[in-house]
Amino acid sequence: MEVDEVVCLPRLSRVAVCGGTHGNELSGVYLVRELLKVKKGVMEKEEEQEEEEPLSVLKVLSNPRAMQQCRRYVDTDLNRCFTHATLNGLTSGTVPYEMIRSRELNAMLGPKGRSGAVDLVCDLHNTTANMGLCLIAYSDCDWICTFILKSPIKNHIPSILWESMASVTMEIGPQPHGVVRSNVYTAMKAGVQHMLDWVCFFNSGTLFEGESVDVFTMIKHIDYPRDSETRNITAAVHPHLQDRDFCPLHPEDPLFQTFSGETLRYKGNEPLYPFFINECAYYEKGIFFKFIIHLYICKHIS
């Protein structure tokens, strides 16, 4: 786009903060429960300072049944249910709980384009990978997500990803699933507060100057080595790679250590940046980690 072009966007009146989409990722579960207690407290102080129409913040516990069982999901991964086919398909026979729940959430928060739909969804997640506080956004064509990635919250975020999500996902780790660590909870609480502060700042009619921001974008993922018969994994992440999310992995760097002690190396031709290294939930999905390339996006956005 042209450097001097100004894009005018409508205010964001309704924001949803969602925790417990995965029932065992506890930072979001406890943060949303806390926000539900604090009706007009710390998290919305910016709103009260504004004289304009107040910001409506909807706090949602996305998957109550999975939360109750402290499991990622009951029948199927809720975070994979927000597709056009699942949300609008015909139902026959026994419908998985998360499919029903995804339709309830779609009716509550959306559907996209409806006048009562929320303007922004912030979905809270944890990972066992050492990813710090990380934002995952749909694409760089979504103005609001792009602005949020460039807002003061950026100072708290080492890594920003573009991914195929319909909302902004705040992903924080490392934290074991089923556990809540105070430092991770506090980081998420601060991250959500910064995001809401930014929305209020945006709503006040601020003109944002363009600047650059580091982002990563996903290009592929690879699976663990597995036994051809049992499909059990035969190696773990190599100790040299473990916890080094977003660090460059060069050709011939150690990748896996087999359970018999052998080192397997990265055989690609170019350096890549792995993330979601040793994420618990990806064992069943056949993903060892995702590979990303490091893009320095330098668009002038006003």
Catalytically active residues, by annotation: 171
Length of the chain: 302
Compute the least distance from the CB of residue 26 to a copy of itself, in Å: 9
Residues annotated within the binding site for Zn(2+) are 22, 25, 125
**What are the φ and ψ backbone dihedral angles of 8, each rounded to 5 degrees?**
-100, 130
Binding residue (CB under 8 A) for a copy of itself from 62, 146, 159, 278: 278
Work out the end-to-end distance of the chain between its first and last CA atoms, rounded to an integer number of angstroms: 10
Q: Does 181 bind a copy of itself (CB under 8 A)?
A: yes
Report the distance separating Cα 123 and Cα 135, nearest Å.
Answer: 10
Rg (CA), the chain: 20
Report the distance separating Cα 121 and Cα 20, nearest Å.
Answer: 14
Residue 196 or 281 with smaller CB distance to a copy of itself: 281
Binding residue (CB under 8 A) for a copy of itself from 61, 117, 179, 297: 179
What one-character-per-residue DSSP string does 224-285 give? PPB-TTT--B-EEE-TTTTT-TTS-B-TT-EEEEETTS-EEE---SS-BEEESTT-TTHHHH
Residues annotated within the binding site are 22, 25, 125
Q: Does 238 bind a copy of itself (CB under 8 A)?
A: yes
Beta carbons within 10 angstroms of residue 172's beta carbon? 24
DSSP code of residue 2: -
Q: Does 31 bind a copy of itself (CB under 8 A)?
A: yes
- Build a one-symbol-per-residue string for 108-147: x at contacts with a copy of itself by CB under 8 A, - elsewhere: --------------------x-------------------
- Stretch 205-234 residues interacting with a copy of itself (CB under 8 A): 232-233
Q: Which of 13, 295, 298 is nearest to 144 (CA)?
A: 13
Residue 55 or 129 with smaller CB distance to a copy of itself: 129
Q: Does 178 bind a copy of itself (CB under 8 A)?
A: yes
Compute the least distance from the CB of residue 114 to a copy of itself, in Å: 33
The residue ranges that bind a copy of itself (CB under 8 A) are 30-31, 33-34, 37-38, 70-71, 128, 174-183, 185-186, 232-233, 236-239, 242, 257, 259-260, 278, 280-281, 283-284
